[in-house]
Structure 1
Amino acid sequence: MKEAVLIFGGIYGTLAIILGAFGAHWLKSKYAPEQLKSFETGVKYQMYHAIILIICGITFPFLEMMQVLMAYCFIIGTFFFSFSIYGLTWTSSQNRKLKLLGPVTPFGGLLLVIGWILLTINLAEIALYLTP
């Protein structure tokens, strides 16, 4: 699991850079300002979670179910949250907004919140273990 977390962190980080550059240069002329702002939100959250995945991959052994669940929440939540935003902004710019993607974004956000709660619990356990 540790390797998968690090790989997803690296992939999400790489894609965030590519998509951010894509948005800043090519989409700037194709998207309305509101669409571009939404797209940038997806990129930012993707990068934030790429970084936290890499930190978690270095910090945790993923031997406990709570750590594994945390990783899944971050990986799946990032995909649902950011990539649904990309899909919504793209289809909206084509005047064919896919309404079925609408509920996917908050579901991804909920998974990210759960991931952060689990991260906090895991960090608290580490702090308790390290406290003399």
Structure 2
Amino acid sequence: MTVLDKNIAATGAIIMAITIAIGAFGAHGLKELLDASALNTFEVGVRYQMYHGLAILILGLAPSIPNISKKKVFSFFLVGILFFSGSIYLLSLDSIIPFETSVIGFVTPLGGLLFIIGWILLAYGILTLKKR
């Protein structure tokens, strides 16, 4: 396993641990503070963070995918998590945080677009694998 693979896999595992903590906080700490719609929105952020954290972990454990593809996919997924899930968390907490969050609404679809690009790049990396 290369250093790049270790770093990507470890980052994926750390993201997964953080996701579990955020999900638990949402389920237990926010249950009484948010209405059902906001809590559901928060859970969407957790779900997409979980999907992409797991994808990053698996990416680091996939030795046959070229490093250039791994680096690009990793970057798109990581920034996608920050933009998509991060903005979803802030938007869902709008009723309990002391600043206006609507100005970050444009970041959510940008994060979603980064996820889509990451998946397309991963598919391209897989389709262009050379036979060993």
Whether these two folds match at TM > 0.5 is: yes
Distance 1:60 1:79, change over 3 A: farther
Matched, 1:85 2:91: no
Cα RMSD of the aligned pairs, angstroms, is 2.0
1:59 aligns to what? 62
Counterpart of 1:38 (choices 38, 41, 57) is 41
Greater share of helix: 1
1:47 aligns to what? 50
Tell me, in whole angstroms, the C-alpha distance in 2 between the residues paired with 1:129 and 1:63: 12
Tell me, in whole angstroms, the C-alpha distance in 2 between the residues paired with 1:124 and 1:61: 11
Counterpart of 1:125 (choices 108, 128, 132) is 128
Partners of 1:6 and 1:53 within 8 A in 2: yes
Counterpart of 1:21 (choices 20, 24, 44) is 24
Of 52-61 and 39-48, more deviation after overlay is shown by 52-61
Structure 1: state its 5+ residue gaps.
none
Tell me, in whole angstroms, the C-alpha distance in 2 between the residues paired with 1:67 and 1:20: 27
Partners of 1:16 and 1:46 within 8 A in 2: yes
Tell me, in whole angstroms, the C-alpha distance in 2 between the residues paired with 1:33 and 1:12: 26
Distance 1:71 1:95, change over 3 A: same
Return the TM-score normalized by structure 1.
0.86
Q: How many residues align?
A: 129
Residue deviations 1:40-64 (CA, integer Å, cap 9, x gap): 0000000111110010001047754
Tell me, in whole angstroms, the C-alpha distance in 1 between the residues paired with 2:78 and 2:64: 16
Percent of aligned pairs with the same residue? 36
Partners of 2:65 and 2:126 within 8 A in 1: no
